[in-house]
Homo-oligomer: A and B are copies of this chain.
Amino acid sequence: MGRRSATGRIGIADVAKLAGVSLATVSRVMNGNFTVDAEIAARVRAAATELRYQPNPVGRSLALGKTDTIGIVVPDLSNPTFQAILRGLSMAAAQDGYRVLIADSSEVSSEEAILAGEARRRCDGLVLCAPRMSDAELAELAPSLQPLVLINRSTENTASPSLMVDYAKGIQDLADHLVGLGHTRLAFLSGPPRSASNKLRLAGLERFREANPGIDVHMLPGGSSFEVGHQAVDAVLSSGATGVLTFNDLVAMGLLSGLHEHGVNVPGDISVTGFDDISFARYTTPTLTTMTVPITELGEQAWQRMIETIRSARLPAPTATTAAPLAASAAVEDADDGARAPLPTIFHPKLTVRGSTGPAAVHPGPQ
């Protein structure tokens, strides 16, 4: 009496009929429940293979209350950093039999909440990667996204595992590296306005300034793409800086390319540094001095935290009364289920010196 007379697909019922057993028995056999007589089990398996039966995951998910899928929300899938995180996550999850659903918010912070919610409902957990939303929004949203792992953000109230990279220290290391090479006039090509990791870099540079009063650090507006770096050549040159820090490797590569076109020698006239150490960084000309962030490992670690959270969320028997869904606060209930210490895991990037940095020129480069 259904809309379509059967989906056309082979179901557990077909197998049961062919094997002459009940649905329950087929299910038992398919799930390795050994309370089934060997002879019958064999008959069921034979029927299953003959019909090429494959259990319907949606039915399974509904009955089991899990989808074996996790979601990830990224601000921009064209960014190699997020691609690497996605890859690390996906490979690690696959090892444990989970799949990954992706959602790209296109850097639109208002989309994030909706995307995250939708993705979460389809999955057993969610990874929020460098969300652009405000702290307040994030804090409000986090409880309802529960098995949640954050990358490059953290929340106070909710006990969601969080993976952070110490960008502040990283950018300081780079600045120190340049100072060590004799540079006294630096410039920083900053990142996207809503990026939390950019704020960390700015904070790091602030500390650097305090520690190095003699060094001039020129701030330049920026972004996260090649184009930003490529178009910043003039601004960089007129700043008079001999050492340039950039938001990430992409920007650095754009800048490198632009400087080359202008006939500026790197590192002879100007030193350039990136951030992240994407795979391309070792193949630029000159090769790029940058901070190495174990990006793929970040994705893998995100998965580890995720699977831990999912597993610990399954065990504890729900003591909460189920009978009173009156309060509108239902979403908060399991907020401190996996009440593990919510201390963020901090990744410390490490300085990788390559060919794009060198001793400061005696006089600044060509204006």
Contacts and interface: CB of A to CB of B under 8 A. Distances in A.
Interface of A: 3-10, 14, 18, 50-52, 54, 56-59, 61-62, 65, 67, 69, 77-78, 83-84, 86-87, 90-91, 94, 99-104, 106, 117-119, 121-122, 144, 226, 230, 253-254, 256-257, 260, 279-280, 282-285, 287, 318, 320, 322, 325-326, 328, 330-331, 333-334
A67 to B, nearest CB: 7
Given A87-B77, A104-B91, A62 B65 contact: no
A257 B256 CA distance: 14
Q: This chain: how many copies in the complex?
A: 2
A285 B265 CA distance: 12
B330 A9 contact: yes
Contacts of A91: 77, 104, 106
Given A58-B67, A318-B8, A328 B256 contact: no
Given A52-B328, A94-B104, 17 more contacts: A9-B330, A14-B325, A51-B325, A56-B121, A58-B62, A62-B62, A77-B90, A77-B91, A78-B84, A87-B104, A94-B103, A99-B101, A100-B101, A101-B101, A226-B279, A226-B282, A284-B285
Nearest to A252: B283
Nearest to A68: B122
Contacts of A106: 91
A65 B318 contact: no
A51 B84 CA distance: 38
The 10 closest A-B pairs by CB, nearest first: A285-B285, A257-B283, A5-B322, A77-B87, A6-B322, A58-B61, A14-B325, A57-B122, A253-B283, A58-B62
10 contacts: A5-B318, A7-B65, A52-B328, A52-B331, A100-B102, A230-B283, A253-B283, A256-B283, A257-B283, A283-B284
Contacts of A283: 226, 230, 253-254, 256-257, 284
A101 to B, nearest CB: 5
Given A65-B4, A91-B104, A333-B8, A99 B122 contact: yes
A262 to B, nearest CB: 13
B87 A122 contact: no
A19 to B, nearest CB: 13
Contacts of A102: 86, 90, 99-102
